[in-house]
Amino acid sequence: MAIFYILMVFVIIAAIVAVETKNLLSAVICVGAIGFGGSLMFLFLRAPDIAITQVVVEVLGLIILIRATIARDLTFISGDREFFGVVVSLVIIFVIFLAGVKVFETLPDFGTPIFAEAPDAASQTYISEGLQNTGAANIVTSVILDFRAYDTLGEATVLFTAIIGATVILRRKSRKSIEEPDE
Amino acid sequence: MLYSLCFLFFMIGLYCAVVKKNMVKIVIGIMIMEYAVNLFLIMLGYRLGGAAPIIDRSQVDLETGQIAASFLSSCVDPLPQALVLTSIVISLGSLALMISICVRTYGKYGTFDITEIRRLKG
Amino acid sequence: MIGLLPAFVAIPLVTAFVLPLFGKKGKGAATVLANVATISLVALAVPCIGHRGVYLLGKWSIPLGINLVLDGLSCLLLLAISVVSAAAMLFSARYMERYTAKSRYLSLLMLMIAGMNGVVLSGDIFNLFVFLEIASLASYALVGFGCEHEELEASFKYMVLGSIASAFILFAVALVYGNTGSLNMAYISKAIQSSGMNNGLAFALSLFIAGFGLKAALVPFHAWLPDAHPSAPAPISAMLSGVLIKALGVYALCRTVFNVFGVSVAVGWVFIALGVLSMVIGVFLAVGQWDLKRLLAYHSISQMGYVVLGVGMGALILARGGEAKWAALAILGGLFHLVNHAVFKSLLFLTSGSVEMATGTRQLKELGGLATVMPITRATCAIASASIAGVPPFNGFWSKLVLVIAAVGAGFYGLAAVTLLVSLVTLISFLKIQRYVFLGELPQNLQHTQESKGPMLVAMGFLACLCVLMGLLLLVPALRQSILEPAVDVLTEGVKYSAAVIKET
Amino acid sequence: MKGMTIIVKTISGWVKVLIIMFGIYITLTGHLSPGGGFAGGVILASAYVLLMLAFGKEYAEENLPIPLASKLESVGALLFALVAIMGAISSGSFFVNFLQHKEAHGQALDLISAGTIPYSNLFIGIKVGASLFLVILILSSSQYYSPNRPIDGKEFK
């Protein structure tokens, strides 16, 4: 149990530093710390699939973020928007936070997942019959590629969309000049 | 308590995305929000002293397909893990797109400061 | 018919995957392929009318697998999406010649259509989120497609707010899962009915309203829309204003509130407040605009207010246990206005694209006198303007009429007055468009302006015909009973949705 | 980008083989152990990113040209969609695992088992690897570095 609190506090501190530091590169490195802390947390939460994916995605994500920040004349734009807006946003966020903290009482306690109690939860069936029905020993794989394969198609499509979008946004020339013939 | 900490984490991300004026910082804020949701989902499925949802040879009778009762009663919830796998990839995709927009905007305006990037009124 | 449901997602997806394979040389072939795909979607959507049913993906029974649900409401949205996207695709065939990377553009547009179809068909809350992300990411990229200063800025703003909305929605999905142990909408609804609402679910509901409200650009959450919609190329503006905010925003909102959580008095008032705020603030901001597309974008906010107001009145009456017939009428008005708005607003954006392409500007003060040189554009724009302002006998009039009757009948006299007032201001601002764009003196530099040609005119003419004819949807009983009333029934039946879906599997 | 020193180049020449093999392993055994197509694809992409950082962008581009990567991405996605459509053709519903429960299709916990799942993993691995490689290559183009230099030619007039 204690390990979760330690890691959680670690990622929160890293997040605060990432938000408040003035140097953009340090902020990016803090994001890396959050990601790897989160990955460790996933490992302790018995989710090795997620931990592996999180680590490798984190590496690539960091490379992408660093590409965006390095080699620019690292402008130290820290600071917030105008004071009034900041105060209003802070108040709103604080109110949402107070409202939100109350609601976690309705969830089952940490460590006793809902699917053990809910009458028709799908997860119980995944565990007991997943191997028989799909043949995959890794139940998470059997869920993402068989039971909920449609989600995975959507997820592959999201990535496809994002990459097409990125190539479109970063293309060299966006409009044909007017002199060019139309057809 | 852990859930509340997780929600605090989410709110730090929201604060960063709403209040900061550096474009990369805003992106970082959104990333933090996504991390927090992922973490929250996995926490929901955790079982104290649980086992990872991967069956190995010692836990299954290959002839009948019976799975050991000890595994059934200790396995953590596999469904949120499947969801988080999906959502991690989605956030990677949106990160790539967002950074491309940032880089291209930087090429146009020469700054990451959104208070200076104000051609549109309102 | 039910067996073909996945084709609504599969056809645009496969087309989108194939399109980037066409290089620069295959541009013509890519355009033809994309148009064939959208037209086949229309051909698929029309036979869906009157059907309802559940499709199990991978033959897994729910809640193990994911199901697609076709009912009146999804059918209505499918029709709107396929008609508007066919028109926008046809319009793009020529309009997008000005830009490079056309095959990628077509691919993104197909992905957006696939995402919207996925959202309206999905019966699983997480799956809805995934397809919502597809449509949103495609629209972020398309808003920035021109890569100019304003377009990139608008795209970034849109993307930040959209991502925040997505994070809210995902958090709400997590909360719902944590409280009910299920992701299938029918089973969530069943669990909520048996155990009742609690704080966690109420918080999840408010996160859903905030998230989908951001996607629908209802007034406290509207900041991105007036920038994003004008910045996109015209066919994309038509898609965004015409169907995207409806499929991702209002449809998802109605589905979660009515069918999953069940209506309550508080939610009804929230809807009405959002609707009235959007109507009034949207229209008054619109009047002062001098940029043609920006003016239209503010009107989108205002017109979405009508839809939400109608649905909200229905929710309030249902939750109070009032007379069911007024509730049904209010919802009918809202949903009818939704389809009408899809048609006339996309037509307006297409005409603005036509004007912009011919003249190179969209500032009202630089335009004028186009009535003589662009007669067809002028005629279609006049029809669409009359529709949006609620002039009889065009379609906008009928939906506003139904809304006013429902408001008066249910005793909301104030709301009826607001509806009429907003309609009047809308009329004024569209007279302004007519006056500054089409009437008056033709400026010197626009003397050689020519009317748009070919597919652009076909697309505009098609939508203009729809504007004239769509009143029949309400007036002809057979059409009303097969298209509009099943959609209204889905919402008035509320949480009976879950029993119906579970029974049909 | 010119690439780094000879030490880095030699070491990454060795390491890339290990990374690629690890990526393939993770992809192919996704149904038996943690991992799967996404993680494997990202690992494959990171091998190319390593090459790009060590040897320079041109070297990586020679090994996997941008048009080829773009085609691989589309083809991977198409193949995955094809798995779904094959299910519809052979069993009447999209995404049916139509190879599972065939007699001669390997036993549970073997490498070739679980019906279509390993194939889906493979296709996703190809798609994800190609697309992430593509995005990093595009993002690292230096054309947007300096804000003052006109980058889009005619657009700037």
Question: pLDDT per residue over C194-243, tens digit each?
Answer: 888 888 899 999 999 999 999 999 988 888 898 898 889 999 999 999 89
Q: How confident is the model at residue D151 (pLDDT cuts 50, 70, 90)?
A: very low
Name chain C contacts of D150, Cβ cutoff 8 Å.
Answer: none
Q: Hey, what amino acid is at C182?
A: S
Encoding tokens for residue C302? 């205002």
The alpha carbon dihedral of C364, C366, C367, C369 has a sign of positive
pLDDT (tens digit, 9 = 90+) per residue, C327-363? 999 999 999 999 999 999 999 999 999 988 888 888 8
- Please give the CATH number for the structural domain made up of B2-109: 1.10.287
Exposure string for C89-112, b = 16+ CB within 10 A, e = fewer: bbbbbbbbbbbbbbbbbbbbbbbb
Test C141 with A169 for CB contact under 8 angstroms.
yes
Least confident of B109-113, C170-174, C356-360: B109-113
What phi and psi, each to the nearest 5 degrees, are found at residue B62? -65, -25
Q: Hey, what amino acid is at D129?
A: G
Q: How confident is the model at residue C108 (pLDDT cuts 50, 70, 90)?
A: very high
> How far is the CA of C290 from the CAs of C97, C108, C361, C430, D130, in angstroms?
27, 30, 12, 12, 46
Summarize the confidence of residues D74-101 as an average pLDDT: 80
Least confident of C106-110, C149-153, C425-429, D135-139: D135-139
What residue spans of C181-291 are helical by DSSP H? 185-195, 199-216, 225-231, 234-239, 252-254, 265-287
> Best of D2, D25, D42 to disrupt the A interface by mutation (most A CBs within 10 Å)?
D42
Q: Which residues contact A96 (CB under 8 A, 6 or more apart)?
A: B11, B14
Tell me which H or E stretch contains C67: strand C67-70
Please tell me which residue of chain B has the smallest CA distance to C164: B30
Tell me which H or E stretch contains C54: strand C53-56
Residue C146 lies in a domain: no
What pLDDT was estimated at residue D149?
44
Q: Given CB atoms, is D143 within the 8 Å cutoff of chain B?
A: yes
Q: How confident is the model at residue D148 (pLDDT cuts 50, 70, 90)?
A: very low
Q: Given CB atoms, is C61 within the 8 Å cutoff of chain A?
A: no
Question: Looking at CA atoms only, how far is residue A175 from chain B in angstroms?
Answer: 15
Tally of domains within chain C: 1
What pLDDT was estimated at residue C204?
92
Test A151 with C63 for CB contact under 8 angstroms.
no
Do residues C234 and C353 touch, judged by C-beta distance below 8 A? yes
- Among A48, A152, A169, beta carbon nearest to B52: A48
pLDDT (tens digit, 9 = 90+) per residue, A108-123? 888 788 877 777 778 8
Report whether pLDDT(D154) > 70.
Answer: no
Q: How confident is the model at residue D90 (pLDDT cuts 50, 70, 90)?
A: confident
Domain of C438, in residue numbers? 264-469
Do residues C316 and C268 touch, judged by C-beta distance below 8 A? yes
Report whether pLDDT(A179) > 50.
Answer: no
Most confident of C286-290, C295-299, D49-53, D108-112: C295-299
> Above pLDDT 90, what percent of chain C?
52
Length of chain B: 122
Tally of domains within chain D: 1
- Report strand pairing: C53-56 vs C67-70: antiparallel
Report whether pLDDT(C39) > 90.
Answer: yes
Residue (of C96, C163, C103) closest to C132 by Cα position? C163
Residues D46, D20: Cα–Cα separation, whole Å: 9
Residue C284 lies in a domain: yes
Q: Tally the C-alpha atoms within 13 A of residue C124's C-alpha that lie toward its C-beta.
A: 28
Q: What Rg value do the Cα atoms of chain C yield, rounded?
A: 21
Test A157 with C141 for CB contact under 8 angstroms.
no
Query: Which chains share 3+ C-beta pairs under 8 angstroms with A?
Result: B, C, D
What pLDDT was estimated at residue C111?
94
Name chain B contacts of A144, Cβ cutoff 8 Å.
Answer: 82, 85-86
Residues C407, C413: Cα–Cα separation, whole Å: 6
What phi and psi, each to the nearest 5 degrees, are found at residue D104? -90, 45
Residue D52 lies in a domain: yes
Report whether pLDDT(C168) > 90.
Answer: yes
Do residues C89 and C463 touch, judged by C-beta distance below 8 A? no
Encoding tokens for residue A38? 């989160």
- Report strand pairing: B66-67 vs B60-61: antiparallel
pLDDT (tens digit, 9 = 90+) per residue, C362-413? 888 888 888 888 888 889 999 999 999 888 888 889 999 999 999 999 889 9
Residue D1 lies in a domain: no
pLDDT (tens digit, 9 = 90+) per residue, C307-322? 999 999 999 999 988 8
Do residues A140 and B73 touch, judged by C-beta distance below 8 A? no
Q: Which residues contact C62 (CB under 8 A, 6 or more apart)?
A: C54, C56, C123, C184, C186, C187, C501, C502, C505
Q: Which residues contact C415 (CB under 8 A, 6 or more apart)?
A: C272, C276, C309, C313, C407
Name chain A contacts of D128, Cβ cutoff 8 Å.
Answer: 156, 159
Q: How many other CB atoms sit within 10 Å of the CB of residue C478? A: 8
Question: Looking at CA atoms only, how far is residue B56 from chain A in angstroms?
Answer: 7
Q: How many other CB atoms sit within 10 Å of the CB of residue B6? A: 27
Q: How confident is the model at residue A72 (pLDDT cuts 50, 70, 90)?
A: low
> Above pLDDT 70, what percent of chain A?
89
Do residues C109 and C34 touch, judged by C-beta distance below 8 A? yes
> How far is the CA of C317 from the CAs of C266, C303, C330, D77, in angstroms?
11, 22, 9, 47
> Above pLDDT 70, what percent of chain D?
78
Question: Looking at CA atoms only, how far is residue B66 from chain C in angstroms?
Answer: 20
Query: Which chains share 3+ C-beta pairs under 8 angstroms with B?
Result: A, C, D
Report whether pLDDT(C131) > 60.
Answer: yes
Q: Given CB atoms, is C288 within the 8 Å cutoff of chain A?
A: no
Q: Tokens 């619109």 — which residue? A: C286
| Cis-peptide, bond into residue C235, ω within 30° of zero | no
Test C98 with A176 for CB contact under 8 angstroms.
yes
Least confident of A61-70, A86-95, C31-40, D106-115: D106-115
What pLDDT was estimated at residue A80?
62
Q: Given CB atoms, is B42 within the 8 Å cutoff of chain C?
A: no
- Across chain A, what does the average pLDDT equal? 82
Angle between helix A122-134 and helix B78-109 axes, rounded to 10 deg:
90
Q: Given CB atoms, is D156 within the 8 Å cutoff of chain B?
A: no
pLDDT (tens digit, 9 = 90+) per residue, A127-167? 888 777 777 788 888 888 888 888 989 999 999 999 999 98
Q: Given CB atoms, is B54 within the 8 Å cutoff of chain D?
A: yes
ipTM of the complex: 0.92
Most confident of A136-140, C56-60, C402-406, D120-124: C402-406
Residues A32, C59: Cα–Cα separation, whole Å: 41
Identify the contact set of chain C against chain B, taking CB-CB distances under 8 A.
Answer: 126, 130, 133, 137, 140-141, 144, 147-150, 152-157, 159-160, 163-164, 166-167, 170-171, 173-174, 177-178, 183, 226-227, 231
Residue (of C181, C157, C66) closest to C118 by Cα position? C66
Domain of D28, in residue numbers? 6-156
What residue spans of chain A are helical by DSSP H? 2-20, 24-44, 48-69, 83-103, 122-134, 139-142, 149-169
Q: Given CB atoms, is A84 within the 8 Å cutoff of chain B?
A: no
> Best of D121, D135, D136, D149 to disrupt the B interface by mutation (most B CBs within 10 Å)?
D135
Residue C245 lies in a domain: no
Query: Which chains share 3+ C-beta pairs under 8 angstroms with C?
Result: A, B, D
Residues A180, C99: Cα–Cα separation, whole Å: 11
Residue D139 lies in a domain: yes
Residue (of C279, C266, C264, C267) closest to C212 by Cα position? C267
Q: Hey, what amino acid is at C119?
A: V
Residue (of D95, D106, D3, D118) closest to D53 by Cα position? D3
Residues C393, C481: Cα–Cα separation, whole Å: 21
Q: Tally the C-alpha atoms within 13 A of residue D119's C-alpha that lie toward its C-beta.
A: 18
Name chain B contacts of D151, Cβ cutoff 8 Å.
Answer: 107
- Among D36, D73, D113, beta carbon nearest to A160: D73
Q: Which residues pair with B82 in a beta bridge?
A: none
Residue (of A90, B106, A81) closest to C156 by Cα position? B106
What residue spans of C46-148 are helical by DSSP H? 72-95, 102-121, 125-143
Q: How confident is the model at residue D111 (pLDDT cuts 50, 70, 90)?
A: low
Summarize the confidence of residues C427-434 as an average pLDDT: 89
Q: Hey, what amino acid is at C337?
A: H
Test A150 with C57 for CB contact under 8 angstroms.
yes
Name chain A contacts of C146, Cβ cutoff 8 Å.
Answer: 174-175
Name chain A contacts of B81, Cβ cutoff 8 Å.
Answer: 47, 49-50, 140, 143
Q: Given CB atoms, is B101 within the 8 Å cutoff of chain C?
A: yes
Test A173 with D70 for CB contact under 8 angstroms.
no
pLDDT (tens digit, 9 = 90+) per residue, B54-99? 887 777 776 676 777 778 888 888 899 999 999 999 999 999 999 9
What pLDDT was estimated at residue C51?
85
Residues D27, A8: Cα–Cα separation, whole Å: 30
Q: Given CB atoms, is A176 within the 8 Å cutoff of chain B?
A: no
What pLDDT was estimated at residue A75?
55
Residues C300, C286: Cα–Cα separation, whole Å: 9
What phi and psi, each to the nearest 5 degrees, are found at residue D3? 100, 180
Name chain D contacts of A146, Cβ cutoff 8 Å.
Answer: 95, 97, 115-117
- Among A137, A150, A174, beta carbon nearest to D31: A137
Q: Is C198 helix (H, G, I), strand (E, B) or coil?
A: coil
What pLDDT was estimated at residue D106?
57
Question: Looking at CA atoms only, how far is residue B59 from chain D in angstroms?
Answer: 12
Residue D146 lies in a domain: yes
> Best of A89, A109, A163, A168 to disrupt the C interface by mutation (most C CBs within 10 Å)?
A168
Least confident of B32-36, C138-142, D25-29: D25-29
- Among A120, A125, A168, beta carbon nearest to C104: A168
